[in-house]
Chain A
């Protein structure tokens, strides 16, 4: 991955939003979107326009029966099934003559019980399927994120103008390495970060001398305290008076640090 490939992604965002890409191309773009806020913003803006196009089409009043069809289609439990369990009225008949009715009642109850068990099984299977689909979706998102991060990390680490930021060297400094490139941006890689307080996540800050901290993004919440962040380069004075730090913040991040600020290193 090079910066030129980033430009390739920019070139494909309209086609992505319009659903014109192949499955493989779509996956590549989605991997990139997970780690590139600029392109993600661009896709959101394009989607706003596409939504406007869809909304600009004149509506059509549906036929009345369509509403019933739709509601019937989404109905989960058919109503007819409960009727199979209705009690059978068998007054004033001899025991022998009742035998066929009794057998029918037993059969009816058995069928009803099987139907109920089948319905329960169906629901359990549907629940399991939903959980598997959800889990697959999460795994796919993580895979895409990793793929996009790997591309950008290679781009950053192999750039001629990339240099490592000396870490703070303090005992309480997280196991983290940081690299900066004026053209590729800031790359932070962390391992064995201390577990943040409950309900908090790590946010990265760039603090230029004399300025308020600027958020560089969230570090992620991978297991084993691992994380990677690629951010745009500091806007000015790269090479002097810039500190990179992390702090624990609420999910979604804060506009200014509210938790304990740990300096990572200075540029």
Chain B
């Protein structure tokens, strides 16, 4: 069974159960569980990291950081606080945004280029893999958001901008930024729990 078909075939609840089992083994010092966790979620972590940093080298560094951190902090993971994939993706987003900001600072100083095309051997798995009904619902709902709400949410989520930075970037009042993000999240929330 290929990695992508593993992701595709497993129902979400069964996948969650399997993830929790891997995390328990990880927390007990079973290093082989890292490989299993990687096989289950590296594609998703890389996809999100690349979506944020837009650079394959930085995205791969993020993947390495995330799984190292997962290994290191697995004993403190609490299933009640969220799913394993959510935990990994949260770490991926945080680290990717850190890299984005660091690169932004360097570019401001050095004028280095930043964007890069998707690497040829890192083919998109695209819609073959649907992580959960929740993700499918959110993806569909995001397509229905008014463009101004979608832009504000993208800047906040994928670029890690603060509300003030978004207001400056879009040249709109801070209150408008808050309203747009809140409205966008409310719409997406209805798609998660109708």
Contacts and interface: CB of A to CB of B under 8 A. Distances in A.
Interface in A203-262: none
A57 B47 CA distance: 6
Interface in A1-48: 11, 14-15, 18-20, 45-48
Contact of B125 (A20, A59, A63): A59
B157 A70 contact: no
Nearest to A74: B71
A19 B142 contact: no
A88 interface: no
B67 A52 contact: no
Contacts of B134: 48, 51-52, 55
A198 interface: no
A47 B83 CA distance: 11
A99 interface: no
Given A49-B192, A53-B138, A66-B63, A61 B125 contact: yes
A69 B137 CA distance: 34
Interface residues of A, number: 37
Interface string B40-72: 001110111011000000011001100110010
B163 A59 contact: no
A50 B178 contact: no
Interface in A148-164: none
A119 B30 CA distance: 19
A86 interface: no
A53 B157 contact: yes
A71 interface: yes
A170 interface: no
B104 to A, nearest CB: 16
A214 B135 CA distance: 35
Given A71-B34, A134-B76, A54 B90 contact: yes
B138 A52 contact: yes
Given A14-B185, A57-B51, A74-B67, A66 B125 contact: no
B64 A47 contact: no
B169 interface: no
Nearest to B140: A56
B89 interface: yes
B63 A61 contact: no
B105 interface: no
B156 interface: yes
A137 B92 CA distance: 22
A67 interface: yes
A58 B157 contact: no
A56 B85 contact: no
Nearest to B52: A57
Contacts of A54: 48, 86, 89-90, 92-93
Interface of A: 11, 14-15, 18-20, 45-63, 66-67, 69-71, 73-76, 130, 134, 137
Given A15-B178, A61-B123, A70-B64, 12 more contacts: A48-B189, A50-B157, A51-B86, A51-B134, A54-B92, A55-B89, A56-B139, A56-B142, A57-B44, A60-B46, A70-B67, A75-B31
In the A-B complex, the 4 residue pairs with the smallest Cβ-Cβ separation, listed nearest first, are: A52-B138, A55-B135, A59-B43, A56-B139
